[in-house]
Amino acid sequence: MKEFDLELFEKLSKAVLYSMGNQLNWRSPRATSYLLYDLDTPRQVKVAYNSGLPKWRELRNDIFKEIRRVEDIHESKRIIKVILFKHNNRSYCIPNHEEVRRHTYFIMKDTPKIILSKLPMRKSIKHMAMPEDDYNLIPFGKKGTAWKNIHLQRTKVGSAYSIGTEWTSILFPTEDTLYFYVETDI
């Protein structure tokens, strides 16, 4: 967990929420997402995804520099994806797991506790409005900190629901959780 330049990222997140339309992304089903940058473009498309949002174009290099500083990524390594996610009371997050990439969450809000549910997924989603006792709240870091490799957090047996493995594979961020999801080369 490392601190990043919150002011810089906030300038961007404010502009994104103000100017862009709501999108969907499978990494956090039902959440609102805003794609800013993506090198994983389909084979026949020659150009990498680079949002035309003026504030993104203005701040992109500074954002990239800060990501490299926080993540200690060499200039030769790629920043592959930048997406802003905003959660609601129905959305959940599937922490990505690829050996060749690092997945980092730049937390933008003060209420970023992640709920690891004790219940099976369907019940968990149905019962998101239940009292907090039903969930195992883990500190997801305070605003202005970057978390990486969330999927590698081991869940204690009986303390959290994990699909198929003992690694964290589904998270229920609380409503209004806001973070930049960043994928980079390792």
CB-wise, 55 or 135, nearer to other proteins? Answer: 55
| Window contacting other proteins (CB under 8 A); options: 1-9, 18-26, 123-131, 148-156 | 18-26
Nearer to other proteins, 36 or 63 (CB): 36
Number of amino acids touching other proteins (CB under 8 A): 23
Rg (CA), the chain: 16
The residue (of 54 and 120) whose beta carbon lies closer to other proteins is 54
Instruction: Give yes or no for residue 89 binding other proteins (CB under 8 A).
Output: no
The distance of closest approach from Cβ of residue 28 to other proteins in the complex, given in angstroms and rounded to an integer, is 13
Closer residue to other proteins in complex, CB, 19/165 = 19
Structure tokens at 153: 């957090």
CB of 10 or CB of 134, closer to other proteins:
10
Residue of 175, 151, 147 lying closest to 162 (CA atoms):
151
Q: How far is CA 109 from CA 28, 98, 104, in A?
A: 17, 26, 15
Cα–Cα distance list, 170 to 5, 28, 68, 106, 127 (Å): 28, 9, 27, 18, 15
Contact criterion met (CB below 8 Å) for 133 and 75:
no
As measured in angstroms, the least distance from the Cβ of 160 to other proteins is 29
Tell me how far CA of residue 135 lies from CA of 118, 130, 149, in angstroms: 6, 9, 21
Q: Give least dist CB 53 to other proteins, A.
A: 6
Q: How far is the CB of 182 from other proteins (least distance, A)?
A: 17
Interface characters, 35-74, with other proteins (x: CB under 8 A): x--x--xx-xxxxxxxxxxx--------------------
Smallest separation (angstroms) from other proteins to the CB of 170: 21
CB 101 within 8 A of CB 183: yes
Q: What does the alpha-carbon distance between residue 76 and residue 186 come to, in Å, rounded to a whole number? A: 11
Report the interface residues with other proteins, using CB under 8 A. 14, 18-24, 35, 38, 41-42, 44-54
